[in-house]
Each structure stands twice: as C-alpha cells, then as structure tokens.
Amino acid sequence: MVRTWYDPEEYTRLRRVNGLVLSPDGTRLVAPVSELAPDGTAFRTALWEIDPAGEAPARRLTRSAAGEAAPAFLPDGSLLFTSARTDPDSTESAGKPALWLLPAGGGEARCVADRPGGFGSFAVARDAGTVAFVSDTLPGAADAAADEQLRKARKDAGVSAILHESVPVRSWDRDLGPDRPRLFAAVPPAGPDAPLGEAADLTPEPDLALHGHSPALTPDGATALIGWSVYTGRGVRRDQLVAVDTATGERRVLAADPEYDFSAPAVAPDGRSAVALRDFPGGAGARAEPPAATLWLVDLATGEGRDLLEGRDLWPREYVWTPDSAAVLFTADDQGRCPVFRVEAATGELTRVTADDGTYLQLNPAPTGTALFALRCAWDEPPTPVRVDAAGPQDPLRLPSPEEPLEVPGTLTEVAAEADDGTRVRAWLVLPSGACAQSPAPLVLWVHGGPYMSFNGWSWRWNPWLLAAQGYAVLLPDPALSTGYGPQMRRRARAVWGEVTFGDLMAVTDAAAARDDVDGTRTAAMGGSFGGYMANWIAGHTDRFRAVVTHASLWSLEAFGGATDYPWAWTAEFGDPQENPELYRRASPHAAADSIRTPMLVIHGDKDYRVPIGEGLRLWWDLVSREADAKFLYFPDENHWILSPGNIKVWYETVLAFLDHHVLGKDWQRPPTL
C-alpha cells in the first residue's frame, strides 16, 4: 500500500532530519529531528542516533516537552545540546534554552549551564573541550546575577520598551534588544556530575557586533573566531572576522575590507588556519557587479589571507576541513544541484566529490579521512543521512533514517529554454502520476525566493509534491539572478529584477507548456518572498495564467526598502532611494496594478519582518480598490514562513482550493477551519 504522505494532514506528521554531527572518534552520528508534538499544534525536536555503518536502525536519544537542538560532542564522547526543558532538580520553569549534557555511556541528561538570556550558538574545542557560546545579556550587567536582576526590574516595572541607538532593530520575526549578544568561554565539566566551568565574558558591551554570528574554536580552546559587525555609517554594517583570546578577551582582526563581509569561520584541525565565507554584497545599480561569495583562507598566526577559490564562481554554502588540514570540503550551487567539492588549501586544486543530482548539507568527514557523512536531498527526496567515499565522485550510501523513504506521487525531470538574450534557462519539472499526451497535467509555475539562490533541493516549507498529488505539474525554474550558473546569470537582472526575470520565466514556461504531457491552456503562477515579488510582476504584465498565488511578497519597493529588517541589502542592490528613485520605481510591481486581470490569492504573516505586513496590506488594498478578483489569507502569528502544523495545512488547503477553482473550474471550496 502506497503511503499518502503528500496529503497535508499526513505531510505534517513526517519526521524531518534537520542536522547531523559526527563524534570525534567517528563511531556515532547524532541528528536533531523534528516531528509533530502529541497535541498536533507544534513541531518538537529531539536528538536521534544514526549508525555510521548503516546496519542498526536509527534510535531516539532524548525526549522532552521542550525539545532539544544543536548537538555537539565533547572530546570524551559526551554530548552537549541546548534545551528549554525543566531541570528535574528545579521547581522553576526553564524559560530560555540552557546547556545540557548527555553522558557518552548513556544515562540521564543533566543541565550543565544556564543563563538569564539563554544559550544561542556554541562551539566545542576539538582537543581541549573548551566551550564558547553566545548569550544575550542586558547592557550594564557585569555577570549572570546582575543580568537576572536587571531583567526582573524591567518586568516588575512593566517596561517592554527598547531604546535603539543603531541598526538593526529587528530580525526575521523577532525584535532585537534590549539585551545584546555577548561571547563567553568556559572549560568543560570537570567530572560526571560537575557543571560547565565558570563562563568568562569575552565581549563586554559589544552592542550588536555579534548579532547573527556563531563562534568557532581552535583545537586547544585558546582562541575563538567569530564574525564581528562594524557600523560603517549611513545605516550600513560590515562583517569582519576576529580572533578572541579566550583567557584575556583580547581581540584582533583577521579579515576586514570595506567592500566585503566575512563570516562563519571554520578552524583547521591543526589550528594553524581557518576558512570563512567572504561575501561581496554587489554594487548598486543595473550596471554594477552582482553579489558573489567565495572561501577566504586565513593564517591564524600572521592574519594573511587569500581567496581559496580565486577565479571560480561557485557560491559556497557549507564547508568543513578534512582531518589532515590539507583541504576544505564544501558545497556550492551548480546547475540546479548542490554537490560537494574539495579544494586543496596549498594549491587551490578543485575536485568534485559527489557526482549525483543531489544537494548536500551538514558535512562531517570521518576522522580517517576516507568517508564523508552528510545529509543528501533532492526534489524527489527529503534530507537523508548518507555516507560518501571522500576519494572521488560516486553515489552515496543511504543510512537508516528516523523517517522511512518516501515514494513521490509522480516523476521528476528537467526542461530548458533559451532566453531573449540567448541565455540557457533550466528548470526542474515535477510531473504527477498519469500525466501523458492523452491526459496532460495543468501547470503551476513556482518561482523561488532569494533572489540569489537556486531551486536545487527539497523544501519542507513549500513542497511541490502536494500539488502533484492533486494532478498538477509544477515547474521549478532558475531564472536570472539564480546562483550556480556563473556571474552573468546574476548580472543580467541586477537592479532590474522584474523585466529580465519575467522574460526568463515566460521562456521556460513556454518550453514546459509545449510538452504533450502538460496542458499549457490551464496554468497558474505562484511564489514566495522574491518569488512572490515575481508573482506580482507576472500578474501585472501578462494574462496568460488563470490564477496567481503570492506569498510574503514585495509590492512597493520604495516603501519596502526602509521597512524591512535588512534595509542595507536593498541600498546595495538599487542604491539610495533618494538618489536613484527611478530604479526602485522601474522594478516595483505596484506600478502595474491597473493592469492586473488575473485572480490573485495574497498570503502574508503579520510577524514577517523581512517582508513586512505593510506590503501585503498595500497589495490587498490596491487589488480591492480596483475591484480585482482576489482573496487574502492572513496569518496573525506567522512570519516569513508558515511554521505551525495547523496553519501549514490551511495554507495548502487554501492554495489548492484557489487553484482548483480558477485553473480547473471547480466550485470554490472554503477550507473548513477558515
């Protein structure tokens, strides 16, 4: 019997593998896995163990109402993780995530450290076991006790106000402040029942310098590396790479450049070098160079650095050192895939490690250097633990996972087209079971977000197979601005998003519609974030589609640029709106509001700070005031993504009902819970 996991109700019940970490001796793999909570109203994450040999079934390690996350091994094999679970020896609610330890030989987990501001990201020194962590702390608090006292004073006084003196003020779905992230370091527990050593504050009063950054440690624990944001004026921040002495807090800059951002360091096992991501945000305007990313190799003793991928355009996503410190393994978008590459630290010689169509995440090389453990996904497979021979291209060995393999309700193929300027535009095409010349499937064009990304792997947020199960073919293109196709693909639509990208999307839609197993007369378009921006653009520039679904979408760029939580990104793309208003207006979908004739479903969450709710409200009003055929699916407590199980089901039910009504001509069926 085929498992119907692609029903929205069953879809939310699937276990989702969200990470992977290998023990120092290479004998244990641990993964945080989320699944539906018993009451069905939320997802909960637990830690599972996966057999690296691929013989034993996956087994659950932790269980609590609060859930567990961010596993990391200590040198002795014990496992640290964060959780807001209640300490069994305490009568008080945990509130914020604390740091817990699960002994290497098994037994009960115990809390080894907590702080009033909770635990954010943390790292463990491979040899020494030193723990560096980020924790939010109120200004003026000299220690944890003072921080707790200040928090109580605010609560008792009924104060929720935040005084901002710099940017940013919000991030995705949360307000920043009044506490600020600080970096701490502590020695590991001294015994089986001991707590984490006393935490040393390495960054007193750092303002927002550490916002969004995670630490890495040298093997001896003596130095912590971390990104450090510096305000450069006019609302712009630049990320430097710094080294912090964990004994004294002395900080020195390892990499800084007014044109680039440096972040996410990874330290070589020999402790001599580190590699970090160097981002170029791009120049403002249509003729400027587009964004780019590379790996920056830095000598920790001298601070000398160089581009490890010089002359190559690969846009690295994740990276890790080989055990012998000779090379870096990394993933990068490449022609609709995201394979693993190996680059030699000394010579820059590049080798592709994986040869299949998969997208790889969470790289964990075995200590022997002979194998690589990772998560692999593709549009027809969710993230799955695998083992890969690190020597060269080959197919991965799938390991027993907490979730059984899924059988998709259809097939996956590719289509390509030639754009107006001769550029090849490719796409994945999801075809429903039974699609053929005698029974062609209606087509849904689904545009990715970003815009600087690629449609190259499984998505839990918006999954095309739930549409395919209802008979729709789904087109997943990589148009202009997509990564993995060289800088010219990003340069083509720099600061003129709508025009060029629209041409690419129409060209590849034509190619899909020309197939005899696709019905090009029954089509719809949809997308989220930048994909929602393009859905809005499509609605204002063609009537070829029977319906348009736009989620978390940009509508009026001039208003949006200063309201988003990330305004300097739009200044980098389009320039100052006061100096270059014509670029914003030319690229703004709202300018074509009078031309919209296609029925639209507008979807937006009130807690979305990346694309604020004002964009959705303005779009909705512009449609209603023009008496357009439109509906507005509003989520008061969701953000840029729809994350709660009940709302996920309603999202799919509403989208499918809207498509069925306008594309297939069925009667409108309002979802029962709405």
Rounded CA separation 242/240 (Å)? 6
Q: What percent of the chain has pLDDT over 70?
A: 98
User: Who contacts 105 (Cβ-Cβ below 8 Å, separation ≥6)?
Assistant: none
Full-model pTM: 0.96
Angle of helix 530-541 relative to helix 497-513, nearest 10 degrees, comes to 80
- pLDDT confidence of residue 463: 97
Rounded CA separation 578/562 (Å)? 12
Confidence band of 283 (pLDDT split at 50, 70, 90): confident
The pLDDT tens digits of the residues spanning 585-595 come to 999 999 999 99
With beta carbons less than 8 A apart as the criterion, state whether 118 and 205 touch: no
- pLDDT confidence of residue 88: 64
| Span of 98-112, 285-299, 366-380, 402-416 with lowest mean pLDDT | 285-299
Task: Walk me through the domains of the chain, giving residue ranges and CATH numbers.
Answer: 115-307 (no CATH), 410-663 (3.40.50.1820)
Rounded CA separation 429/461 (Å)? 18
Among positive and negative, which fits the CA dihedral 645, 651, 656, 661? Answer: positive
The pLDDT tens digits of the residues spanning 418-439 come to 999 999 999 999 999 999 999 9
Beta bridge partners of 280: 292
Rounded CA separation 511/492 (Å)? 21
Structure letter (DSSP) for residue 149: H
The pLDDT tens digits of the residues spanning 555-588 come to 999 889 899 998 988 888 998 888 889 999 999 9
Structure tokens given for 223:
């130095």
Q: What is the mean pLDDT of residues 23-32?
A: 97
Q: What is the mean pLDDT of residues 438-463?
A: 97
Distances (CA, A) of 366 to 48, 130, 256, 641: 19, 22, 33, 35
Residue 394 has pLDDT above 90, yes or no: no
Residue 91 has pLDDT above 50, yes or no: no
User: Who contacts 573 (Cβ-Cβ below 8 Å, separation ≥6)?
Assistant: 282, 284, 494, 495
User: Who contacts 440 (Cβ-Cβ below 8 Å, separation ≥6)?
Assistant: 515, 516, 517, 518, 519
Residue 286 has pLDDT above 90, yes or no: no
Rounded CA separation 562/615 (Å)? 12
Structure tokens given for 136:
């939010």
Distances (CA, A) of 528 to 101, 451, 535, 548: 39, 10, 8, 11
Q: What is the mean pLDDT of residues 245-257?
A: 97
The pLDDT tens digits of the residues spanning 304-333 come to 999 999 999 999 999 999 999 999 999 999
Confidence band of 94 (pLDDT split at 50, 70, 90): low
The pLDDT tens digits of the residues spanning 171-220 come to 999 999 999 999 999 999 998 899 999 999 999 887 899 999 999 999 99
Residue 93 has pLDDT above 60, yes or no: no
The amino acid present at 89, given as its one-letter code, is D
Rounded CA separation 389/572 (Å)? 41
Mean pLDDT of the chain: 95
With beta carbons less than 8 A apart as the criterion, state whether 207 and 183 touch: no
Residue tagged 């044109």 (tokens): 259
Distances (CA, A) of 233 to 162, 238, 288: 22, 10, 21
Q: How far apart are the first and last CA of the chain?
A: 32
Structure tokens given for 419:
């754009």
The pLDDT tens digits of the residues spanning 634-665 come to 999 999 999 999 999 999 999 999 999 999 99
